[in-house]
A and B are shown apart, each in its own frame.
Chain A
Amino acid sequence: MTTSTTSRLTLRTLALAYLVALLAVPVLMILWRTFEPGFGAFWESIRTPAAISAMNLTLLIVAIVVPLNVVFGVTTALALVRGSFRGKGFIEAVVDLPFAVSPVVVGVSLIMLWGVGGWFGGVEHLGFRVIFGLPGMVIATIFVTLPFVVREVEPVLVEIGTEQEQAAATLGASGWQTFWRITLPAMRWGLTYGVVLTIARSLGEFGAVTMVSSNFPGISQTLTLLVNSRYIDDQNTYGAYAAATLLMGLAVVTLLLMTLLDRKRSTT
Chain B
Amino acid sequence: MSATVPHPETARVAAVEIAGLTKRFGHTEALRSLTTNIYPGRLTGLVGPDGAGKTTLMRLMAGLLTPSSGTVRVLGFDTVRNAERISELAGYMPQRFGLYEDLSVMENLDLYAQLRGLESDALKEHFDRLLTFTRLGPFTARLAGRLSGGMKQKLGLACALISSPRLLLLDEPGVGVDPVSRQDLWRMVHAQTAEGVAVVWATAYLDEAERCDTVILLNEGQAEFAGPPGELTATLTQRSLSLSHPKQDRRVVLSRALNLASICDGVIQGSSVRVVLRQGAGRDEIDGLANEVGAEIVPVAPRFEDGFIDLLGGGPGGTSALAESMAPVTLRSDLAVECRELTRRFGDFVAADHVSFQVEKGEIFGLLGPNGAGKSTTFKMLCGLLKPTAGEALVAGLNLRTATSDAKSQLGYMAQKFSLYGLLSVQQNLEFSAGVYGLTGAAKRTRIAEMIEIFHLQGYLKTSPEDLPLGYKQRLALACAVMHQPPVLFLDEPTSGVDPITRREFWTHINGMVRKGVTVLVTTHFMDEAEYCDRVALMYQAKMIALDAPDALKGKAATGGREQPSMEEAFIHLIESVDAAYAAAPPRAVA
A and B from one assembly? Answer: no
